[in-house]
Amino acid sequence: MNFDLTEEQQLIGQSAREFGKEYLDPIAADLDHSGKFPKAIIEQLAGYDFLGLMLPEEVGGAGAGFVSYIQVVEALSRSCPAIATILNYHSLAAHAIATYGSDAQKKAHVPSLAKGSHLGTLAIYENGPTPGIGPDALLASKQGDKYVLNGTKAFVRNAGVADLYVVFATLEPSEKKALSVFLVNARTPGVTVGPLLDTMGLKGCPVANVVFSNVAVEADALVGGENAGSAIAQDLLAILAVAEGAQTVGLGKAAVKHAAEYAKQRVQFGKPIAVLQAIQTLLADVATDSHMAWLGVLRAAQLIEEGKPFEADAAMVKAFLARFGSKMLIDTCQVEGGFGYSEFMPLPRLFRDIAGTTLMDAPADFPDKIIADSIA
């Protein structure tokens, strides 16, 4: 497998790095404190075609492919991973429609999502033991020529700012408890966004539970047919694992760069601490972990772009970073000592953010079965 990037891919990556330096670096710390949705930044992302980057040109996207997309995610995450989270959930919602939707659904929704006039997201998670949240927390029933949705989806990213929800629900009656997927306009009567959750990190990407109370949608809002949602969910979550892997790598690279610069400036006993072997070992470990993780992310991205099986590679990326992602921040914080632990330095923010990219969507042991099953 050739990991050399094309000239176009290199230019897209460079463009994203420049975008991060110009637009995200100046706001990252303030966004971490305010948690306010950065609407102006999302509009600027649209102006760079980042919102439709991996979507095919025939449905209104940029047609740049998934390798280019994860380069953008990694580059933006060096500056502000919350922006990359907003981008990931929007892009996966658009990808779900572009891949599994009908021609009419693609025509109606994908161009506006690709251009950024509409923002999308996934409503895929359910959790307990909160009343109304758990297995089968969102149920759909067919009533005449419509489907009616009742229940709650948990931890919805872009909640309250998305124009379109790609919603996963259990269709009744169903012995298999298989999921079905529906496209729901955020302004449909009966859709209510709960209070925003005060998350530890990734501030600026709003997260909330979304309640569906007798939400009626037309039959043509169904994506991929009845009970097709479980396979769609598995595909989207595997792609998300790779995209979040790119986020984590970006975080690691930002942390080690800051720690290396600090080590060159911090003088003890008449010389920079960067010359001390213990400091060099810490920096080398972080650089190695982020480099190896990036190779795994890149391989999985190439498999996705080529339409080849990628689930095991995505699971390995997720498992590796769930176990070593936070270690990258621990090591860099040790380089900077008490200063690195202080809130006026960026590492505490990066530490909070990396917990969101490695642990929020699934526990660290979630991919292990996929990996074990793939061993011949």
Specify whether 159 is located in the same domain as 280: no
Q: Is 119 in a helix, a strand, or coil?
A: coil
Indicate if 29 and 100 belong to the same structural domain: yes
Q: Are 125 and 155 in contact (CB under 8 A)?
A: yes
Q: Please list, in sequence order, all residues whose beta carbon lies within 8 angstroms of the beta carbon of residue 375, skipping any fewer than 6 positions away.
A: none
Residue 214 lies in a domain: yes
* Domain-terminating residue out of 184, 201, 227: 227
Q: Is residue 1 part of a domain?
A: no
- The answer to whether residue 55 is domain-embedded is yes
Look up the domain containing 218 and give its range: 122-227
Asked whether residue 285 is domain-assigned, the answer is yes
Q: Are residues 350 and 258 in the same domain?
A: yes
Residues 252 and 321 in one domain: yes
* Residue whose structure tokens are 């909160």: 130
242 and 221, same domain (yes or no): no
Query: Among 98, 71, 56, which residue's Cα sits nearest to residue 17?
Result: 71
pTM reported for the whole predicted model: 0.93
Question: Are residues 223 and 256 both part of a single domain?
Answer: no
Q: Which amino acid is at 376?
A: A
- For strands 207-218 and 164-172, give the pairing: unpaired
**CATH number for the domain that contains residue 30:** 1.10.540.10
Q: Indicate whether 310 and 255 sit together in one domain.
A: yes
CA dist list (Å): 135 to 98, 100, 178: 28, 24, 11
Is there a single domain that holds both residue 261 and residue 354? Answer: yes
Distance in Å from the first CA to the final CA of the chain: 20
Q: Which of 164, 197, 227 is the last residue of a domain?
A: 227
Q: Is residue 2 part of a domain?
A: no
- Residue 23 DSSP class: I
**Count of domains in the chain?**
3
Judgement on whether residues 370 and 305 belong to the same structural domain of the protein: yes
Looking at residue 298, what DSSP letter applies? H
Q: How many residues can be counted in the chain?
A: 376
According to DSSP, the residues that pair with 165 across neighbouring strands are 121, 184
In this structure, are 27 and 79 located in the same domain?
yes
Q: Which CATH number covers residue 271?
A: 1.20.140.10
Distance, CA of 189 to chain centre: 28
Sorted by sequence, the CB contacts under 8 Å of residue 321 that are 6+ apart come out as 244, 245, 248, 249, 293, 357, 358
**361 shares a domain with 240:** yes
- Structure token digits, residue 282: 């810490």
Residues 306, 191, single domain; the answer is: no
The per-residue pLDDT string of the chain (376 residues; one tens digit each, 9 = 90 and over) reads 666 888 999 999 999 999 999 999 999 999 999 999 999 999 999 999 999 999 989 888 888 999 999 999 999 999 999 999 999 999 999 999 999 999 999 999 999 999 999 999 999 988 755 555 555 689 999 999 999 999 999 999 999 999 999 999 998 876 667 899 999 999 999 999 999 999 999 999 999 999 999 999 999 999 999 999 999 999 999 999 999 999 999 999 999 999 999 889 888 888 888 888 999 999 999 899 999 999 999 999 999 999 999 999 999 999 888 888 888 888 888 888 877 777 878 888 988 999 888 876 654 446 777 888 788 6
Neighbouring C-beta atoms of residue 307, cutoff 10 Å:
7
**E strand spans, the chain:** 120-123, 138-143, 146-157, 164-172, 179-185, 191-193, 207-218, 222-223, 267-268, 271-272
Contacts of 278 (CB under 8 A, 6+ apart): none
Picking from 118, 137, 165, the residue at the C-terminal end of a domain is: 118
Give the containing element (helix H, strand E) for 172. Answer: strand 164-172
